[in-house]
Every structure is written in structure tokens, then in C-alpha cells.
Structure 1
Amino acid sequence: MYLASVGPLRTPLRRVPGNVPGNVLALGVVSLVTDVSAEMVTAILPLYLVFGLGLNPLQFGLLDGLYAGATAVLRLAGGHVADRWRRLKAVAGVGYALSAVAKLGFLAAASSVPAIGAVLAIDRAGKGIRTAPRDALISLSSDPATMGRSFGVHRALDTVGAFLGPLVATLVLWASLNDYNSVFVTSFALAAAAVILLTAFVRDHSPHTPPARPVGRMQALALLRDAAFRRSCIWAAALGLFTITDSFVYLAVQRRWDIDAGLFPLLPLGTAGTFLLLAIPLGRLGDRIGRWKVFLGGHLALVLALLVVSGPLGSWWLVLALHGAFYAATDGVLPAAVGPLLPEHLRASGLAVLQTGQALARMAAAVTVGLLWTLWDLRPAMLTFTAGLLAVTLAAAVFKPLEVRR
């Protein structure tokens, strides 16, 4: 099927006030609870690995890269299976359940770095499996004209979880006298609750027109024949090569302003707070002026954040605010921009192709930042990535893909 032949999408699902589909809200609540669980671990992991186990930046970069994208290929498998079986909810549920079980793996891993790496791989495998089917559900449950708002609402709810996660982790650490195992157990309980919510409240969504034949393994990659989709994937991956992962941003902030280690788990709150405030407005802005413009604007916000953390002026709260603006302008806006380019019966597979390239690129970025930090120190590493990100963002603005016109 050629993408140009895809007609307007029909969305018969019942809407709630504000024209946001109920399925989108249900998925948002699932993501909220899941993100509380995930961010509890994310908030303490850099502190635990760098300050607790004494990893150097390169070692941490290898683990952080693994966390960011080593299992990215499973996004392709998750998207393909979801489309082939026409069971988006079931495949997403498997991913959520796998990540929940991985939280218990931290208890067994203890201080073993290889074991922690294996647990991180399992956790990211779960995320890789669930992301494309979940985003396909959001896309198929939404009207194309307001898809940016739908993704914005979902990401806003998701970010409430990201905001609460570090607070819950800090509270659990305080109540347990800095027992990291207590954080992992609490994280597992919340992740399990999210799986139950998904099962009870999220409705599956199949294409309105079933494919004439079963979805084959190569059909998703054949989507790359379309110029607009191919350019979207290429530029998303190219930008990912110069996108510094969250953990390195927080470590850079901690080092630049000598923030107390006890406050380190709270740094993601600055990012999450800005993300929460801007996710819906920027999603609606993308619906009006073009989602690709907003997506690239988000990368310019990240460029400014890296310049501040590398320079003599500015403050840590400005870095975190810009970091949150970057996510608000990119995380939900990209699938909202690309989703309408894809036929319904290959929506999960196509988004998986897009997200896999982006995840693999960010994995390479994490390892490279760790290497440059080890060889050159913080400031040269940050400035190198800032220059690269700015150059690719400007190039993507010139050679941008075409969006679906309403």
C-alpha cells in the first residue's frame, strides 16, 4: 500500500468533554502510574551507579546507552506482532508486565554491574514492546486534526507520573533509611497496578478496514519507500545522535552547580514540571502551525539548555526548564506528526520503525558522551554535542518532511 492512498481516518470512539477520547485518557492514567514506578528507579539510578558503585562516565554511558536503546529492535517486533494479530492492547500489556517484573530484578542484581545491565535490558525490552502499540492506540483513537492535542494530553498525564516518581523515591528512601531495595519493591507494586488498570479500562482498537492479507515482516520496512515517512525517520535518528540522555543532563547539572547528592533525585522534577505545563499547549500549537516546526523548536530548547550547563552564566533551574520544554515539544509531537502518514493496519509497525531508529541513535549518543567526558571532561563533551545538535536541527528545518495536510 502506498501511503499517499491512505484516506481520512474515521474515529467512532466516544469522546469526553474537550474532544479528548476516553481511550486516550485511560492510556494516560496507565502511563501516569507506570511513570511513577519507572521514575522512582530513574531518579536514584545515576546516584546509585556513579556515587554508590563508583562508575566512571564511560562505564555509566555504556549502561545508560543500554537503558536508552539496546533493546530498541524489540520495538519492531512489538509493532509487527500488534499489527499482525490486530491486538494492540494485548501486546502493549505484555510490555508493561515485562517492565514490572524487571523491577524485582534489581533486588537480585545487588551491586553487580553486569546483573544491573541485564535487568535494565529487560526493563527496556518491556518499554520497547509496548511503546509502538500504545502510540498506535492513541493515534487510532484520535481525530487527525487534533492528534497533537491527544498526544499532549497523554504525555501530560504521563508527566504527572514522572513528577511524582522522584518524590515517592525520596520519601521511600527517607522512610527506609536509604534502603534502595525498598524503592525497587514499591516500584514493582506500582508497575503491577498499571497493568491491572490497562486490562480493566483500555479498549483495543483495530483498523476500520482490515488488510487484504496478513501483515508481513517486510511491510513495515516497505513504508520507508514513502519520502515523507523516510525523511521523518532519518531526521529523528540524526537528531537522536546528538541528544544527550536525561541522566547525563542531571549529572552535568549536579557537577556544574555542586548540588548536594541528597537532592539529586529531585532534579527530574524541574524537567517534569515544565513538561507538564507545556505538553498540551505545544501539542495544540503543533496542530495549528505544523508539528514538525514544534518538534525542531524543542531541539533548539535543548541546545540552549546545553549551552547554559556548559557556560559561566545561567542557573540550574533554567537548564531543567529548557530540558522540560524540549520533551514537551518532541515526545508526543513526533508520533502525532508521523502517525497520519501511516495506513491504519501498519500504524504500530510504522511508529516502531521510527522509534527504533531514534532509540538506537540515542544509545550511541549516551556511549559517546560518556567517552568524551572521560577523555576530555564535561565542558568539551557538552559543547561538542551542542554544536552537532544545532547543525542537524538547522539542516532538518531546511530539508523537512511533508506533513499530512488537513
Structure 2
Amino acid sequence: MKYITRTVRILSVVSLLTDTASEMLYPIMPIYLKTIGFSILLIGILEGIAEATAGLSKGYFGKLSDISGRRVVFVQIGYAFSCISKPMMAVFVYPLWIFLARTMDRFGKGIRTGARDAILSDEAMPETKGKIFGFHRSMDTLGAVIGPSLALIYLFYRPQDYKTLFYIAFIPGLFAVFTSLYLKDKNTVSVNPKVATPLFSFLKYWKESPTEYRKVVIGLLIFTLFNSSDVFLLLKAKQAGLGDSMVIGVYIFYNLIYALFAFPIGIIADNVGLKTIFIIGLALFATVYLGMAVNTNLYIFFGLFFLYGIYASATEGISKAWISNITDKKDTATAIGTFSGLQSICSILASSLTGLIWFKLGAPTAFIATGIMTVLVVFYFLTVPYPITPKTIKLFE
């Protein structure tokens, strides 16, 4: 475990605490917004603006981090913004204030994402990227188990007391900010501090990036266009007869599997290849969606969500590890920030597209279409060059 450095451990704890705070509110956010007068349309607009803000800021602040040569300050400010936004949602219920608070939360994510992942990449060697990113994802997702569990327990004793949960979520968020203060930059030398950084300057990286990067990201973005929000999976489970508590329980179960398997799968990926594990993950995703299209058995839903957890373990951290292995070290935050930003925009389109297909043609058609497109993406990735590392070279000798 020597490769799990002090910096990686601190970042992972910070992510765990922040995700605990965020995921504590995830299941009750739509319900709370409805109780303060938000319509479904207004909720959709709110989430769309928030995610678009996160998407644009990920690329911009990733580029800014690379130019300035600094990482930690972006991480600290990003987590601070997300922390402050939690109680803001409960202080006032005016629509403009809610929009400000929600956007601030996503803006914080945009500020920190590229710099945080660049730090993780800098703490690893090419042959340990899967382990490092896998460990971080395990810790991060553990927060998605703890958060909803705490919310479920609290609401059992205090039904419909949603506002108090926003204040409670502030506590782990505050601990995350304090923990981030232990992070230190190893190198603060600016690459070119006098260069202006316009909002969309990160998009220029696409032309400057390695061919391998563009090939990988194109595949990832095509997949994202059909990878809609997890809400649709939960809605399908609800539609099949699961009660509200059981639906939240299934979501917690999925995140638990994700948290338990992300690190060991990262270890396996370093030995057999990031591409191999990523493709297996996509195959599992296609299996889950095709299964969701035809399944009506409540017990099988747990099996499908188990596979969905494995899929997430085999793709989320692995994709960033792969990207960091095929880009120049000085451009890591820009590369990951650009991908993450474009991914956020595609995610908005994906949920809209899935919702439209569901509305017009029904849930089975929506899930089958996603499954078939994912199979095509698998074939695409089979043509993408394999990321060679010292370990993978030995495997083929």
C-alpha cells in the first residue's frame, strides 16, 4: 500500500466527507424543492443550469490550474463552495436564492475536479494509476453509502423535516474543508502566468491534444450521450413495484458495491490493462440496461444493481486513469477538465434524450436503445490503441 501516499489519503477522505454531505441530500432534493413551490419544469431548469455551470467551469479551471502550476488552492476553494451551498438551500426559499445556492455547489465541483484529478495522477506512476484512482473512487463512493443511509435514518424519526438535513449536511462538508487544509502543492512554478485564460480557452486543447486522447474521449462522450441519469433506473425499479424506502435502499446497495469494488478493480486494471477493464465495464452496463428493459422480478433488480455497481467500479476512475496516461503531465488538469466538462454537457443531453424516448415509446424502448448503443461503443473501443505500461509489457513478453 506504499503507492497510497499521504496526499492520496487526504484527498480521499475529503471526497468521502463531501460526498456524504452531497448524497445525504440527493434522494430528498426533488421532494424538498417541490415542498417550497418548485414545479417539475423549474427543477429541470435548475438542474440543467447547475450542471452546465459545472461543465464549463471544469474545463476552464483545469486549464487555469495547469497554467498557474497550482493545484491545492483550486481543490480547497472548490470544496469550500460546495460546503457553503448546503445550508444556503435552507436559509431562504426564494427561487433566485435556490438557483444561486445550487449553482454554487456545482461551480465548486467545477473548480476542483481537474486540479484534484491532476494531483491523483501526479501521485501515481503509469502502472499504478488504476490503484490510485480506484482507491479514491472507493472512498468517494463510500460517502454515497453513508449519506443516504443517514438521511434515511433521520427521516424515519423526523418525517418530512427536510430543511434540517441541509444544516446537518453542512457538518461533514465543513470537516472536508478543514481536512483539505493539510494538502500542500509539491510544485508551484507557473507554466506561463502572463497568458490570458478566456472562459472557453480549454477547448483549444482539443486541437493540441494527442491523437490517442481524442480517440478515447470521442468514445467516452458517445457513451455519455446515452448514459442517462441514475434516476431513470430508480424510476424503473419504482415502476416495477418497489416502495420508496426500497428504492433508496437499492440506490445505497449500488453505491456500496461500487465503493467495495472500485479499489480492487483498479488493482486488476493495472495488471491486465485499463482498456480491458473499461470494456468489460461497458459490457456490464449494456447487460444492466437490456435487463432493465425486460425485467419485472423485484429480486433480479438487486442483481442488476449489483452489476451496475461493478460497471461503475470498472469505468469511472479507470477512464480518468486512462486519460492521464495518454496526456502530457503538464496538461493533466486541462485534459481531464476538458473531458469532464464535455461529459457534463453530454449528460444533460442524455437524460433529455432518454426522457423523450421513455415518454414517446415507453421505458423498455429507452433501455434497449441505450443497451444497443453501448454495445456499438464497445466495438469502437476495441479499435482504440491500448495504453502500454511497464507491467502490461511484461504480460505480453
1:160 CA displacement: 1.4
Q: Tell me if structure 2 keeps the 8 A contact 1:66–1:120.
A: no
Indicate whether 1:358 and 2:339 are aligned: no
1:204 aligned residue (163, 181, 185): 185
Gaps of 5+ in 1: 1-16
1:265 & 1:123 partners in 2: Cα distance? 23
Change beyond 3 A, Cα 1:266–1:47: farther
**Matched position secondary structure for 2:228:** coil
Match of 1:164 among 146, 149, 155: 146
Q: 1:390 aligns with which of 345, 363, 375?
A: 375
2 CA distance for matches of 1:365 and 1:175?
A: 37
TM-score by length of 2: 0.87
8 Å contact from structure 1 (residues 75, 129) kept in 2: yes
1:141 alignment partner in structure 2: 123
Which of 227, 230, 238 aligns to 2:222? It is 238
Name the CA distance, whole Å, in 2 between partners of 1:51 and 1:371.
26
Once the 2 structures are TM-superposed, how far is the Cα of residue 37 of structure 1 from its aligned partner?
0.5
Pick the aligned partner of 2:82 from 83, 99, 108.
Answer: 99
Question: Which segment is superposed worse, 373-382 or 19-28?
Answer: 373-382
CA distance in 1: counterparts of 2:108 and 2:192, whole angstroms: 30
Q: What is the one-letter code of the residue matched to 2:121? A: S
**Partner residue of 1:8?**
none
Distance 1:251 1:50 in 2: 17
How far the C-alpha of 1:231 sits from its partner, in A, is 1.0
Contact residue 274 and residue 322 of structure 2 kept, 8 A: yes
Asked if the contact 1:60/1:370 (under 8 Å) is kept, the reply is no
Q: Paired residue for 1:82? A: 65
**Structure 2, unaligned stretches of length 5 or more?**
391-397
Q: Per the alignment, do residues 247 and 313 of structure 1 end up closer, same or farther by CA in structure 2, a change over 3 Å counting?
A: closer
Cα distance in 2, alignment partners of residues 52 and 261 from structure 1 = 21
Instruction: Kindly state the Cα deviation for residue 122 of structure 1 after the two structures are TM-superposed.
Output: 2.5
Change beyond 3 A, Cα 1:212–1:100 = closer
Q: Which residue of 2 aligns with 1:21?
A: 5
* Deviation (angstroms), 1:49: 5.9
Answering whether residue 236 of structure 2 is matched by residue 261 of structure 1, we say no
Give TM-score scaled by structure 1 length. 0.86
Q: Could you say if the C-alpha distance between residues 250 and 54 of structure 1 is closer, same or farther in structure 2, counting changes exceeding 3 Å?
A: farther
CA separation in 2, counterparts of 1:302 and 1:179? 36
Alignment of 1:7-406 (within 5 A): 17-46=1-30, 48=32, 65-66=48-49, 68-108=51-91, 110=93, 116=98, 118-199=100-181, 201-206=182-187, 211=191, 217=197, 218=201, 221-222=204-205, 224-225=207-208, 226-256=210-240, 258-312=241-295, 315-398=300-383, 400-406=384-390
3-state secondary structure, aligned to 2:155: helix
User: What SS is found at the alignment partner of 2:26?
Assistant: helix
Amino acid at match of 1:78: F
After TM superposition, give the deviation of residue 171 of structure 1 in Å: 1.9
Which one-letter code corresponds to 2:282 in the other structure? H
Aligned partner of 1:355: which letter?
Answer: S
Q: Where does residue 12 of structure 1 map in the other structure?
A: none
Shift of 1:91: 0.6
Secondary structure class of the residue paired with 2:27: helix
Q: Structure 1 residues 353 and 402, CA, compared in 2 at 3 Å: closer, same or farther?
A: farther
The CA RMSD measured in Å over matched residues stands at 2.7
Quote the offset at 1:285 in angstroms. Answer: 1.7
